[in-house]
Amino acid sequence: MTWKPHATVAVVVEDTEGRFLLVEEISSGLVVFNQPAGHIEEDEAILDAVRRETLEETGYKVEPTHFLGLYTYKAPANGVTYHRFCYSARALEKVTDQLDDGIIAAHWLSLEEIAGLGDRLRSPLVLRCIEDYRNGRRFPLDVVVDAET
């Protein structure tokens, strides 16, 4: 069997009141909470995936501001290894209420509300990425280079 990692993006978006944009979604039959996140599509630039996934899952247009890190996680539910390119972004405007299949709603939640979700978080990376962001972890966007096609 060939090992095939899954490349994904996740986006930490904080509003002016210190709340974070999360999505309530159905995953493996369970209702869980996650950052706007998803797989990078073939031939898609990573920053384009950041913008697309956030728009599709929350209805918000965003502009990426920083790279937070590359996080690796092996999901116990399916044994898949995910490589999560996590970014911070600024919300520009809400442009639609139409959300991806499987997304129940987008929510603005405080850190305390998010921490209180416990095992309802899709993975431990949800809280870890927010904590890294709050602790000042920031890298310039150009630290990740998409090769020109």
Residue span of the structural domain in which 71 resides: 6-142
Considering the domain boundaries, does residue 148 fall inside one?
A: no
Considering the domain boundaries, does residue 72 fall inside one?
A: yes
**DSSP assignment letter at 116:** T
What pLDDT digit, counting tens, does each position of 79-97 carry? Answer: 889 999 999 999 999 999 9
Q: What's 128's domain CATH number?
A: 3.90.79.10
Q: How many domains does the chain have?
A: 1
With contact defined as beta carbons under 8 Å apart, do 23 and 58 qualify? yes
Residue 149 above 60 pLDDT?
A: no
| Model confidence, pTM | 0.93
pLDDT of amino acid 134: 97
Residue 4 above 80 pLDDT?
A: no
Considering the domain boundaries, does residue 125 fall inside one?
A: yes
Residues contacting 84, CB < 8 A, separation 6+: 8, 9, 10, 37, 70, 71, 72, 73, 125, 129
- Provide the mean pLDDT of the chain: 94
Considering the domain boundaries, does residue 39 fall inside one?
A: yes
- 11: closest CA among 100, 93, 125? 125
